[in-house]
Structure 1
Amino acid sequence: MDQNHWIQKSSVQEFGIDKSVQQQQLQGQPPASLIRRVSKRNIGIRPTQESGVAQIFETFHPEQKTQSLDDIKFIIKCFQSHFVFSSMTDTQLTQLAHSMFYCKLQVGESIIKQGDGASSFFILEKGKINVLVDNVPRKELTSGFGFGELALLYNAPRSATCMAVEECFLWGIDRHTFRKSVETIMRSEQEKNRKYLESVKFFNQLTREQKDAVAGVLISQKFNQGEVIVNEGDQASSFYIIVEGQCGVFNKDGQQIAVLNPSDSFGESALKHENQVRMMTIKAVQKDTKVLALGKDMIQQILGDQVQSIIYKNICKWALNSSKLFSKTQSTYQDKLLEGVQIKKFAANSKVITKGDKVGQLVILLDVDAVDENKAKALKGSILVEDTLQDKLQCTSHVKTYTVEVEGHVAIIDYESFRNAQGSVEKIQQGKAQQSEKANAFEEQIKSQPFKNLIYLNKLGSGQFGSVYLCKFKDLETLFALKYVTRAHVQQFGIQKHIQQEKAVLELMDHPFILKFYRSYKDNENIYFLTEYIPGMELFDAIRVIGLLSKYDAQFYAAQMLLQMEYLHTQHSIVYRDIKPENIMVDDKGFLKLIDMGTAKSFKNQQSTKTFTIIGTPHYMAPEVISGKGYGYFADLWSVGVCLYEFICGGLPFGEEAEDPFEIYKEIIKKPISYPHFMSDKSAKTFIEQLMNKIPEVRLGGSYNTLKSHAWFKDFDWEKLLVKQLKAPLLPGKDKIMTPAQIQSVLQRGISVHDQIQKDTQGQKKVLASAKDAEWDSAF
């Protein structure tokens, strides 16, 4: 099955024709007779360079018509019956309706023809249309029917013909306009919500990603003049930001004592504390007062139960990152350090550090400044007397007293105990530096090797754009994998930026569970990526050898996938976008390696952590990717959830037997998760349902530490996993790995990789480098 398989499929369901799909019911099978699918789920859509010009494949006569209010209502009603639009609000649908064009069909004309490309979705306002498959009438469409919505997701050959049986008038929108309109609508809303969040002091100490997550779940509400928003004495469960209009604050006697204007907020205590009640009544005092509401339960699902604790940990993290001693330590070291943090409240004029006290505590000022005996000030958000913690100074006691002049909170960590157990920052950094020096020397040796020195050993696989070869340099023992992409395919599919981005991402990777990249090469015909060789098998094949995974097996693989995502998301601001077992290797020791960075996208130095490109493999796509409303890191967590379901249940949660993207997408957006009868692990279910929550911002639960602390991982040893001391569920068979004797035998032939590629591609159409290639291939 080639990588374009999904693009070549289309659905008759988008024309309102039912398609019966028989599905094997796993619920009726005991685990012992589990049969997994054998066909691989290949990528549905790869990124291409947009020309910015919409190509229209359908035939119609444009008409001029000014939209009335009734037209908008008619269009919205039709939108609401199609899954592509199901997650959009009425306001968003109204804006989208304004982007539609009006057109006419004469009797006998076909607006859509079977086998043609697809670019537009239509709503029939007047008239009748016949839907024909292979020239056989299958259905009649009348006023109010919408058809062709799959075209809004990507270009796929039409599976039916739509012919007018009487004069017809329709509303339409093409894919390019739809994508741009939705992106404009969603970006505008996100930016406005972020702007309002920035104006609220309570959210100042959240990270950029946390602010984006909160902005994504704010709910817009409208109130009429005199309508009560909150009542005095009610349980406080929501926080509000005023967007338009005015609110009045009223005391228990009904007297208005204050006015709240746009950007003002109220209800902050509901987010901070348990069992709070409203102290005042707040009403809208202007017509159509608009507010953004944030429920306490929602912010707890996004950030964790203790919101204030999250804010304090953020401050601690920023303090560590800006310090001389801790700024170069890895995020995992900092997280471990912060596991032992204690938050202490100090009264005004209290001593935080007393002269003569034993040195060894890491003290971070959270929301208060401190002064020493000479009134020298240490600012909030900083580490107090950090120098005393350095190994070289060997301080034993403090030489100054530090006091807080006002009431505030301070974070305290027993660094001495931590240093004894984990090692000091300096020793860890020294060890890392030595490892890095050794690795850098090896990498420099590889970078100095010319392409002609690569000797062919074996062909590892083929894809749509090229192949992968096992190879080695003449004078090095290490084995490598060489992947190449032909310039012909780069030109044909317009993937210049795509392969530039793939190389840029690969160069950043330095993680035990992610493929190691060494360098690139280029010649007149191809672009080459030299990476580590991973002897083993795809995770796709491994779980078929194992069968139904035990809890430990599923934990072992899912935990590594989470560590891969944590590294990409938190260390490099990268979203992967195509997590599935086919993109993960199981090495010769049984541990995972994430491969193929071709779909990855970096948010580094970008204002938004959302992208709108529909990309990935349909069965593993998150709902927000399909809907086009924009998505970010949380889409990867959905895909991890799909994989975990597959490990434990044997099949996929949505569209297991479906190959038609329309059917798969519809199930993902509309169907709840269900389980086979033998799936009885309740904690696994709650974990899967968190990862696959339809609200993206809920999936993380606050942080990766929170995910890793989930009840399902209660008996799992993350520390041993990181140092690869856990027993792997499966070791790939030796038949998957070349023996030294086999390697030596092939080496004696002395065939270069270049010559082997020429032999393998003999007769294929080739495109040579041109002057304009310098605009994109200078990176290789």
Structure 2
Amino acid sequence: SSPGGSIHPPEPAGPSRPCSGPRRQGPMGSAGAGSPSSPMAADGDGHEGTGSAPSAAANAASSKDGAERAAVSVAFRAASKEADANSPSTGGESEAQAFAPPPRRQTLRTKTLRSTACTNFEESRFNENKRDRAKDSKVCALVRAALSKTHACVRLNEADIKTILEAMECFVLEPGFVLQRQGEATELFIVLQEGSLEVNVDAEMGMPAQSSRVTPGTSWGAAELLYGCPRTTEVTAIEETVMWGASGVTFQQVLRERARANCAEHKKFLVSNSLFTGLEPRQMDLLSQALIEEAYPPGAQVVSRGEDNPTFFCVRSGTLHVVDSPVGGGPAQDLGILHPGDCFGERALLYGERRAGTVTAIGRCELLCIGASQLRSVLGTDLHAYLERSLILQGLRASPNFSQFARAQQSAVMQAMEMKDLPADRPIRGAVGRGVRAVIVVTGNIRHSNNGDLVVVSRGDCCEADTRGRVIVGKDGVESPVRRAGGLVPENTIKLEDFVAGPEGARISVLSQDNLVKALGRKSPAENAEQAAEYAAKMLLVRKVPVFRHLNHEQTESVVSALKLQHCTKDALVIEQGSCGSSMYVISRGEVSIFINNNLVRTQGRNACFGERALLFDERRTATVKVTSETAEIWTIDKATFGEIVKGKMREDLINRIKIQDTKVAITDLRPVRVIGTGAFSVVRLVEHKRTGVRYALKSVRKQHGRIPKDMVNECSILLENDHPFVLYVVKTFETDLRVCMLTELLTGGDLHGAIRQIPTVLSRRQAQFYIGSLVIAIEALWDRNIIYRDLKPENVMLDSQGYLKIIDFGISKKLKEGESRTFTTVGTPHYMAPEVMQGRGYGIEVDIWSMGIMLFEFVCGYLPFADDLEEPAEVCTAVFTNRLCFPHMYRDSSGRELIQGLLCRHPEQRLGAGANGCADIKSAAFFRIRDGSSEELFDKIMGRELDPPLVPHGETYCDDEEMEVDKLSDAADLFEERENGRAEDSRNSSKEADWDSHSASKASSGHRSASKASRAS
């Protein structure tokens, strides 16, 4: 290990890599990395410099060559031919050719696409070309055939197709008519009936101009309308052309509404079946995507008795007859009728049993089905065990005690529980013995007769005993009554061991006191269940303290172990104003009052913390704290102990984060230093606090027609509720009549796109481990808050002064509402965009996994896996859909290939990290394993800032002056100059803290980190 904490020994250098592309203006004013050093020596993990990158032709040859692709992939095919012609032969290579670096896409910046409204069709320039012609059967057949070949339309139903047909109008174009100009947004979805169109692509990036033909029967415009982006091609009629076109607004609406309807309907069927009780909304959505729609005519046999068919069916429409036909012949036994909403096939799916009956369609039926293989891809190999575990976890999270544990602790408790099968009327006591702390019913029910009152605990409910032996059921607190058949009874008259199985028996999951100790007390001094529970509570408490929140697991456990309990009585003096601080405190029980200059400021109770600045700074106490309750229990940790646990880069980062957390700062407290970036409507300045000297970045955005731009509202709302070391930190926001401002931490290391181009080779395995591992941690934190980032790429990731990553630019991110797990808007950067985003059928957090896969491929191979040489969004999207994932010959790291293949799976429900275990599946990949350690150790070291980053910036990197047009967008007069000249009272420029609740369409995304603010204030 290096002195800085690197966990890998030096290794040989890998193949050289081009430092292509000029410096590019990054988000928040970055232009790329400066002149960083590289503590991590570039190694050749998995790289072998004996081959060339695969040609584009090899990729194209493996893809489908449909009509739509033929229309939009002219440049790609031309590039393929050129690459083929220039590819070196495998024999007789020179040494220089053998170690040639992989190509990198030459581009200034990938462009983020935002969904835009179509041009008003009523005012369209196509109106002069309309012709009043009837849509006969031939035209309808032509449109239907074209829709069937358009990947965005393959799941449209008959009603959707009719809506598009009804919106279709006939247009006749004269030769030379320009249907599509470069830079214009697409207005129509069209299908050619007669004639032909020429598609021209201008010369770009050293490639010659190209052209192709669009012929009758081909559709045009679906991809452009779906992606909401202007075209970079020109389309011209080369002869008289007859086409049928539908308004882009209508086409977009049909696709999105169909996707929403399908998702909602499929999910409704799954939710209605108890088999899937306990699954999280995201898993439900993944399963709903995997459901297949099938139709059966009258009399058709769906399954037959004795058949080996592990498929689960839901009846969507129609009725089916179920009979049991004896093997040796004889009359069939009628088992009933299945109606819409009914399901069958559970046991065949879970246990692989053969069909117990024959199911036949009475009339035309539509079914939704999912096979065992599709279900396993989402939930894992052992379906039955997984569904049981999900149900148990749901019960724990609904209990009054276990719901207070962290998710990792809940998982540990769940794994420590034992499954028991009880026959009818069998008591729990005889099956599991004494010391039962909790029981969750998996199947059946358990019950207890208490003085004539029947108490029933049903499937999914958690029944637990507190430390005094009292029983608690469900979500209610200790003093709440237990639910029972016919009324309520006080729970303190019931003992958990006396419950018995119901008349049909029960399958229960049982937690004993010993197993609770094992689950929670592995690294604690716990010797019994009470101590283990106390340790878990302390761990949860520590996670709520801002100064501890972002420590890694090992550091957190050390802090928990170091906490000492202090018993206090009323009026006890905990902190005295003016004294030197050396400890911080967390209230476990009781209340304290805070006084400043003998004036009561506020009272704080359980879980509140105070004095945390004393752990990092040599400051005198600014307030006095006294106990006001009769007694109080307070956990405390001193500065010396904390200093032994948190040191180095982690301590430096904590100090920097606390320094900028001054929510009372005002615009008048800031002094502008320089402009560090500009955008279309924004200016980013480096500003300095006049009194403290603390530096910030101030992003100022001009209002449009008196309103704050939607992207800015969205970005501020999301960032204000997120406090994570790998996400840009927002201190405060301000609003004037003309502008809205966002005060953030200052990032000085440039963006990741520029940084990786300072490394002369493709990234080594350990360098890629660091960057992708950091992104996994950050994205997982966003997912925990139900946020889909949607535009993950190197340009949107910046480096701090230590070289650690920060995700920025949340303008198009999506905060999902409670219970939601899908959105439908097509936004993002095509080169990094997941296929399901382009399809418009809805998507979830798994799209960020795809983007990480693209970035990892780019890091270790030196170019993008799909459409590396293309810029036209529609062509890029077509390549993402159709091209095979091919690795360059020199990249031989099998674990890296396996991880990339898992991240870039085109089926979102099968994508690594999209399943039941979430990011845990990504973290456990072999690619992240380190020498003499596990993958968990790597992520723990990244979180604890114990590693030397691949690049440590020297100096500060901002936009070059020549890249900025400050004279056009300067807002200095609005924000600073007039105030300094004594006109701060000018109402036009007076600032106030922005109220994002009043600007955001979704109040779920407008939190203000209130807990953190309260803590900082104390």
**What TM-score range do you get, normalising by the shorter chain?**
0.7 to 0.9
Secondary structure class of the residue paired with 1:170:
strand
Superposed CA deviations along residues 504-543 of structure 1, whole A, max 9, x for unmatched, are: 1111212232222221012233211112233434222333
Q: Which AA in structure 2 matches 1:192?
A: E
Residue in structure 2 matching 1:645, options 830, 833, 857: 857
Q: 1:355 to 1:98 in 2, by over 3 A?
A: closer
- State the match for 2:407 in structure 1: 331
Determine the structure 2 residue equivalent to 1:428: 539
CA contact 2:130–2:169 (8 Å) conserved in 1? yes
Per-residue deviation, residues 166-196 of structure 1 (Å, max 9, x unmatched): 3x43211232221111011111222222222
CA distance in 1 between partners of 2:468 and 2:856 (Å): 43
What SS does the corresponding residue of 2:692 show, helix, strand or coil? Answer: coil
Pair 440,83 (structure 1): closer, same or farther in 2 beyond 3 Å: farther
Q: Which moved more, 1:231-240 or 1:554-563?
A: 554-563
Q: Does 1:735 align with 2:960?
A: no
Q: Which moved more, 1:501-510 or 1:686-695?
A: 686-695
Give the deviation of 1:210 after TM superposition: 1.7
In structure 2, the CA distance between the partners of 1:27 and 1:594, relative to structure 1 (3 Å rule), is farther
Corresponding residue of 2:265: 192
Paired amino acid for 2:867? G
Q: 2:233 aligns to what SS in structure 1?
A: coil
CA drift of 1:201 comes to: 2.3
Deviation readout 1:212-267 (Å, 9 max, x if unpaired): 21111111111222222223222232111112222222323472623222222111
Cα gap change, 1:478 to 1:444, in 2 (>3 Å): closer
| Equivalent of residue 882 in structure 2, options 666, 670, 673 | 670
1:623 equivalenced with 2:853 (yes/no) = no
Give the Cα–Cα distance (whole angstroms) in 1 for the partners of residues 906 and 350 of structure 2: 26
Q: Does 1:233 align with 2:284?
A: no
Q: Secondary structure at the match of 1:388?
A: coil
One-letter identity of the residue aligned with 2:921: T
The answer to whether the 8 A contact 2:71-2:213 is kept is no
Larger C-alpha radius of gyration, 1 or 2?
A: 2
Question: What corresponds to 2:713 in structure 1?
Answer: 500
Match of residue 285 from structure 1 = 362
Counterpart of 2:663, as a letter, is: K
Tell me, in whole angstroms, the C-alpha distance in 2 between the residues paired with 1:769 and 1:716. Answer: 53
Number of the residue aligned with 2:497: 401
Greater relative contact order: 1 or 2 (C-alpha under 8 angstroms, separation 6 or more)? 2
What is the Cα deviation at residue 726 of structure 1?
A: 4.5
Q: Is the 8 A contact 1:119 1:155 kept in 2?
A: no
Q: Output one character per residue of 1:445-474: Cα deviation in whole Å (capped at 9) or x when no partner.
A: 722111111233454433333233333323
Q: What's the counterpart of residue 205 of structure 1?
A: 278
Correspondence for 1:470: 686
Residues 1:418 and 2:519 aligned together: yes
1:387 equivalent in alignment to 2:466: yes
- For residues 296-326 of structure 1, the C-alpha deviation after alignment (integer angstroms, 9 at most, x for no partner) is 1001101222223333333333333333333
- Mean CA deviation greater in 320-329 or 219-228: 320-329
The residue that corresponds to 2:129 in the other structure is 61
TM-score normalized with structure 2 length: 0.65
Q: Does 1:162 align with 2:259?
A: no
Structure 2: which amino acid aligns with 1:426? A
Alignment of 1:540-579 (within 5 A): 540-546=753-759, 547-569=761-783, 571-579=784-792
Tell me what 1:612 maps to.
824
Note the C-alpha offset of 1:673: 1.0
In structure 2, relative to structure 1, the CA distance for the partners of 1:710 and 1:180 (3 Å cut) is: same
What is the distance in 2 between the residues matched to 1:158 and 1:544?
27
Shift of 1:653: 1.0
Give, as a single letter, the amino acid of the residue that structure 2 aligns with 1:486: R
For residues 132 and 458 of structure 1, do their structure 2 counterparts lie closer, same or farther at Cα, with a shift above 3 Å needed? Answer: closer
Kept after mapping to 2: 8 A contact 1:354/1:402: no
Q: Using the alignment, how far apart are the partners of 1:55 and 1:298 within structure 2? A: 48
Stretches of structure 2 that go unaligned for 5 or more consecutive residues are 1-23, 28-67, 91-96, 203-208, 470-477, 479-493, 525-534, 548-608, 614-657, 959-969, 978-987, 1001-1018
2:677 alignment counterpart? 461
What residue ranges of structure 1 are gaps of 5+ in the alignment? 5-10, 739-751, 760-767
Identity %: 24
Distance 2:354 2:684 in 1: 64
Match of 2:179 among 107, 112, 124: 112
TM-aligned CA deviation for residue 127 of structure 1: 4.2
Task: Tell me if structure 2 keeps the 8 A contact 1:27–1:676.
Answer: no
Q: Give the 3-state SS of the residue equivalent to 1:504 in structure 2.
A: helix
Aligned to 1:309: 385
Are 2:287 and 2:378, in contact at CA under 8 Å, matched by a contact in 1?
yes
Structure 1 distance, partners of 2:898, 2:433, is: 47
Relative to the length of structure 1, the TM-score reads: 0.83
Structure 1 residue 636 displacement after superposition: 1.4
Aligned match for 1:483, one of 696, 699, 715: 699
Please give the secondary structure, in 2, of the residue aligned with 1:540: helix
- Residues 5-44 of structure 1 mapped to structure 2, 5 A cutoff: 14=71, 20-21=78-79, 22=82, 33-34=101-102, 36-37=104-105, 39-44=107-112
1:708 aligns with 923
Residues 335 and 290 of structure 1: CA distance in aligned 2, closer, same or farther (over 3 Å): same
Offset of residue 725 of structure 1: 5.2
Count of matched residue pairs: 736
Aligned in 2, Cα 1:376/1:583: closer, same or farther, shift over 3 Å? Answer: same
* Equivalent-residue separation in structure 2 for 1:328 and 1:470 (angstroms): 42
Alpha carbons of 1:774 and 1:600: their partners in 2 closer, same or farther (altered >3 Å)? closer
Q: Is 2:119–2:187's contact at 8 Å kept on the other side of the alignment?
A: no
In terms of mean alpha carbon deviation, does 334-343 or 211-220 score higher? 334-343
One-letter amino acid of the counterpart of residue 451, structure 1: I
Q: Give the Cα–Cα distance (whole angstroms) in 2 for the partners of residues 634 and 109 of structure 1.
A: 45
For 1:276, the aligned partner's letter is: E
Say if 2:339 is the partner of 1:261: yes
Cα 1:507/1:368, change in 2 over 3 Å: farther
Question: Whole-Å Cα distance in 1 between the matches of residues 780 and 218 of structure 2?
Answer: 44
Q: What is the CA–CA distance in structure 2 between the aligned matches of 1:386 and 1:38, rounded to whole Å?
A: 65
What is the DSSP-based 3-state SS (H/G/I as helix, E as strand, rest coil) of the residue aligned with 2:828? Answer: coil
Q: 1:319 aligns with which of 395, 400, 404?
A: 395
- Which secondary structure does the structure 2 equivalent of 1:239 belong to? strand
How many angstroms does 1:426 deviate by? 2.2
What secondary structure sits across from 2:955 in the alignment?
A: helix
CA distance in 2 between counterparts of 1:596 and 1:422 reads: 39
Q: CA deviation at 1:415?
A: 2.1
Distance 2:292 2:137 in 1: 25
Deviation at 1:88, TM superposition (A): 3.8
Aligned to 2:570: none
Alpha-carbon offset, residue 289 of structure 1 = 1.8
Structure 2 residue 735 is the aligned partner of structure 1 residue 511: no
Residue number in structure 1 paired with 2:353: 276
Distance 1:59 1:383, change over 3 A: same
User: 1:721 and 1:60, CA in 2 relative to 1: closer, same or farther beyond 3 A?
Assistant: farther
Partners of 2:75 and 2:142 lie apart in 1 by: 24
CA distance in structure 2 between the partners assigned to 1:430 and 1:90 by the alignment:
52
Check if 1:103 corresponds to 2:170.
yes
Match of residue 125, structure 1, among 193, 211, 217: 193
SS in 2 for 1:552: helix
1:605-637 Cα offsets, whole Å, 9 max, x none, are 47x533222211110011121222222222111
2:697/2:744 contact within 8 Å kept? yes
CA contact (8 A) 1:47 1:495 kept: no
Supply the distance in 2 between the matched residues of 1:633 and 1:203 (Cα, whole angstroms). Answer: 21
Closer/same/farther in 2, CA of residues 443 and 109 from structure 1, 3 Å limit: same
Task: Tell me if the contact between 1:221 and 1:290 (Cα under 8 Å) persists in the aligned partners.
Answer: yes
Alpha-carbon deviation of 1:291?
0.9
Say whether the 8 Å CA contact 1:368–1:407 is kept in structure 2: yes
Q: Supply the AA of the counterpart residue of 2:397.
A: N
Alpha-carbon distance between aligned partners in 2 of 1:317 and 1:589, rounded to the nearest angstrom = 39
Deviation at 1:568, TM superposition (A): 1.8
Q: Quick one: which amino acid aligns to residue 169 of structure 2?
A: Y
Letter in 1 for 2:791: D
Shift of 1:290: 1.4
